[in-house]
Amino acid sequence: MTSNAAQEPQRTGQRRVLFLLASARSDGNAELLARQAASTLPTRTEQTWIRLADVSLGRFTDTRHVGDGAYPAPSASGGNLLDATLAATDVVFVAPVYWYSLPADAKLYLDHWSGWIRIPGLDFRARMAGKTMWAISVFSSDDAAEATPLFECLRRSADYMKMGWGGEVLGQGNRPGDVLADHRSVAAARQLFI
């Protein structure tokens, strides 16, 4: 379970990249693009890949105005995700554009940040400050502007948490594997972390 005594990446100097897979499809286009980006990371970089659909976060309930407004620590699965989040130096959202925004699993994860901020003694917001957020996404239409709300949501979330914004890559693809034919986005993904 998470504690303040957990080794912080900023103290060790080790880069730890957390890839959050938010697609409803395994090995989807966004994940394929993320794997291209990850392939260029130095071998000493620690990579953690978590499929958010496999994490039992449970529904988020806003209890800020109930009692003292404190939230309990998450259960085992959610606690592991919280630990991975705090251990990371870089948080990468790997999320296709769903209805002009983030897929439900990614949004639920961000909703739980609201509770994690209020867990007594965790100092979640302070411990997230200085980390870097990234986004790798894929859309299936002809208008790349449809991804703007997804990227804006993540940029604003990073700003609120005092995280850096590393950048984004947007690929185009619909059927499984289509994004690999989008040579421009594959090249951009391979430059993302360089």
Q: What's the confidence (pLDDT) of residue 12?
A: 62
- Asked if pLDDT for residue 77 goes beyond 90, the answer is no
Q: What is the pLDDT of residues 89-106, one digit of tens each?
A: 999 999 999 999 999 999
Domain range for 45 is 12-191
CATH code, domain carrying 58: 3.40.50.360
Residues 100-123 pLDDT 10s: 999 999 999 999 999 999 999 999
> Which residue has 């259960």 as its token pair?
75
Residue 149 lies in a domain: yes
Whole-structure pTM over 0.85, yes or no? yes
Amino acid at 17: V
pLDDT tens-place string over residues 10-41: 556 899 999 999 998 999 999 999 999 999 99
Residue 130 in any domain: the answer is yes
Q: Is residue 178 part of a domain?
A: yes
Nearest to 30 by CA among 189, 107, 138, 188: 138
| C-alpha to C-alpha distance for 37 and 28, rounded to whole angstroms | 15
Sheet holding 132-139, edge to edge: 46-51, 16-21, 90-94, 132-139, 164-172
Please state, as a whole number, how many other Cβ atoms lie within 10 Å of the Cβ of residue 71.
22
